Structure 1
């Protein structure tokens, strides 16, 4: 299966042809985040706060917003559990993508070359564009900036809400949708022999900033 445009002529009736819409990832992420909140809520022990359960069931991403407004230990634990669930899913996807689409490439010269592969090839494959900006301190930290990050490009502020508070609430709700992409990047790096931590944040939709910190080899 390839994400590359299919050159003509092609026949959608061909039983051997396989096509995948680029919107499939968008729809998957839309479903994964609330599903992860529901599953985590259902698996939480009975001692978890009822208010958190209600929030996660009716509007899952708002549970992340609660983390910025005087959370309890249970809320923090549930948010962390959701993060690891989503990041783990992305990790397996990232590994599979590299194993499939980079198997014929030669060995990379250094870590920076691997990061550039992520910024250009992997980003183009998954998010249909390249990273807009790459910065590094040359000591194992890399900052990737995407000014129009695809998974966030269709998110918006609540109807009638253009105040600073509404904008901030939209940013908080968008944060969980960055956890799967974090896992994809970390999994891709691991498949290429680089262990790292990956964090992402958004301060203004639809932009996103990813910070990669490579870990020393054991």
Structure 2
């Protein structure tokens, strides 16, 4: 349980307001990545098993029926397993999609009482200050833009990295990269909820810092 004070933005008069311990959020962010890898590999194994059964002439199973083994042995072994890049892409898609839905929900709740934003820069500032404080309990440390639809957000003490080991050799940075995919989804979902389509990428060159690059996608007329 956390005894830290509740951080804005929030509506203190909202009778349906719900609050979450910041420690619980930290633990969730830590567990999301291994969970995504685990689920991805479980689904892949199930798909390969079903493919092997189909190849062996065993009809697909339906809920409530028992899985039959193909003649001459057990299922598995003939399908092609994902390579490392395919696994990485699948995990990225799963985590980024989860974050996208979270980002949409956060903006719908915490920006409903605010006046409409005038331009994209106002939206990015809301993201850097209010939304970042809501999720990561601090504001972005630096914001840069080329005024042509590209925004670079720098967080020198990114909260999900605060408890990570910073061992030498660069492996810590490589292992930390997947923990940026869910936050990338949050940013993209938040922007989409405010009417801005964008791509979001993030990287870290040294823990616990993180850099997010947002590229807005112009609306085709």
Gaps of 5+ in 2: 9-15, 49-78
Aligned to 1:28: 28
* Shift, 1:19, TM fit: 3.6
* Shift, 1:4, TM fit: 3.2
Aligned to 2:80: 47
Aligned to 2:176: 174
Alignment match of 1:4 (pick from 1, 4, 7):
7
Gaps of 5+ in 1: 6-15, 50-73
Asked whether 1:80 is paired with 2:86, we answer no
TM-score normalised over the length of structure 1: 0.77
* Shift, 1:3, TM fit: 4.8
Mapping of residues 1-218 of structure 1, within 5 Å: 3-4=6-7, 18-44=18-44, 45=48, 46-48=79-81, 74-157=83-166, 161-162=167-168, 165=169, 168-218=170-220
Equivalent residue of 2:165, what SS? coil
Alignment RMSD, CA only?
Answer: 1.8
- CA-to-aligned-CA distance 1:14-64 (integer Å, 9 cap, x gap): xx8854111122111111100100111122244216xxxxxxxxxxxxxxx
Q: Hey, what's the Cα distance between the residues in 2 that align with 1:142 and 1:213?
A: 7
- CA-to-aligned-CA distance 1:114-166 (integer Å, 9 cap, x gap): 00000000001100000000000000000000000000111013xxx53xx2x
| Segments of 4+ moved more than 3 angstroms | 2-5, 16-19
Q: Hey, what's the Cα distance between the residues in 2 that align with 1:209 and 1:187?
A: 18
Q: Is the radius of gyration larger for structure 1 or structure 2? A: 2
CA contact (8 A) 2:130 2:139 kept: yes
Alpha carbons of structure 1 residues 105 and 19: separation in structure 2 relative to 1, 3 Å: closer
Equivalent residue of 1:179, what SS? helix
Q: Hey, what's the Cα distance between the residues in 2 that align with 1:17 and 1:120?
A: 21
CA contact (8 A) 1:3 1:125 kept: no
Q: Higher helix fraction: Structure 1 or Structure 2? A: 1
Q: Hey, what's the Cα distance between the residues in 1 that align with 2:90 and 2:28?
A: 19
Q: Number of aligned residue pairs: give it.
A: 176
